[in-house]
Amino acid sequence: MKQIFTNFYGFDDVKITREEIFVEDGVIVEEFSRDEADEIIDCQNLALMPSFTDLHVHFRDPGFTYKEDLKTGSLAALKGGVTNVLLMGNTKPTVSSVEIYEDIIKRAVELDLIGIDQVYTITKNFDGKSLDHLETMPHSVKFISDDGHGVDDGEVMYKAMLKARELGVNMTLHEEVAGVSAIDYEVAEDAMTLRDCYYAYKLDMPVHFSHVSTKGAMTAIKYFKDLGAKITCEVTPHHLYFSEKARDEMKVNPPIRKEEDRLFLLEMIKEGYVDAIATDHAPHSKEEKEKGAPGFIGIETSFSTCHEVLVKSGLISLNQLIKIMSTKPSEILGIKKGKLDPGYLADFNLIDLDKSYIYKEEDIRSKSKNSLMIDKKLYGQIQKVYRKGILKYEHN
């Protein structure tokens, strides 16, 4: 299948172009004769950019599919322009066995909506101690994580990093000292982040830090990055959009932080120390949220939210936003996506950057409706999403 995408304003992490894009079998290629094209796609002067990769997502499947499942989560991702996700392992059962992992991957491939990678747990069933299950971990696993929990025991984490290095997998870490978080969650995040930055540096181990939310944690990451540590990090749209004034209304883990923290995260994005925007998309039922369950959905609105806070504000360029929503997270996940160059996947979003819209509950594709953005006016509406050159989403 040969396709030509034409009549657009193209953006990736470095360039702005009006040149046509030529695609063959889902991959961008060098120019070919227009007579060879099976399809010429008129993009109607919209912005065309690489679709996004979200490194931190909960689809609740298996075990909690009343909140979300692989299909509804994938449809929500497409609405948000996301064509690749990394799923966390706090399902029921947890993703600590070959059987559970392979079942998720098999069903994701059969759905053929988005690309889905699944983490394996660091410790078996999040017990904070056992690493034996890693010996039989499938070779296709790219990341291990105990997301929802920090690994409190320093010896266990040290051994886990050694094992991950031996197996050639990365780690994505939820940083929280459990005994401290009930007293001072800021210190709980800062202290474990500092420990694991040091471990990663000393062991020359690639480590990714999840949903960084404090000035202290981000300062540690900056320091060890400058030393040459192989560490990367993500921040969430809600930690960039909200701060302490709204904290009491928003139960999320890690919590909404002080304005000082929010502004520091913004500065670190501007200076290039943040590698990815990840949503921590966390579906819950209405009853669970009323009882205080932490987390919110956000994968459908992440671009609009970040476009407002980061680009419309003048903090960074659209190219820089694409870098941390597509190019760099795709690189971290090992996907050839995020640039409009030959050899990269033809995963594209067509976006009306000037279009404003009200995000309504009835328009949500997720099973859960626990969004922070309901009834807010947002900018930058995603009109179409292509994955490997195939149209997967179109705004009605």
Which residues are marked as active site? 280
Rounded-to-10 torsion of CA 117, 120, 125, 128: -130
307 near 353, Cβ under 8 Å?
yes
d(CA 80, CA 113): 13
d(CA 47, CA 394): 15
d(CA 244, CA 145): 28
Residue 156, C-beta contacts closer than 8 angstroms, at least 6 positions apart = 123, 128, 129, 131
Report the candidate in 37, 47, 39, 53 with the shortest Cα–Cα distance to residue 17.
47
Q: What number of other Cβ atoms are within 10 A of residue 39's Cβ? A: 11
d(CA 250, CA 292): 9
N- to C-terminal Cα distance for the chain?
26
What's the burial of 248, exposed, middle or buried (CB within 10 Å: 0-12/13-18/19+)?
Answer: exposed
DSSP per-residue string spanning 240-264: HH--GGGGGG---SSPP--HHHHHH
Beta bridge partners of residue 87, listed in sequence order: 57, 118
Tokens describing residue 56? 């931190």
Show the CA angle centred on residue 136, arms to residues 172 and 115, nearest 5°: 50
d(CA 391, CA 395): 11
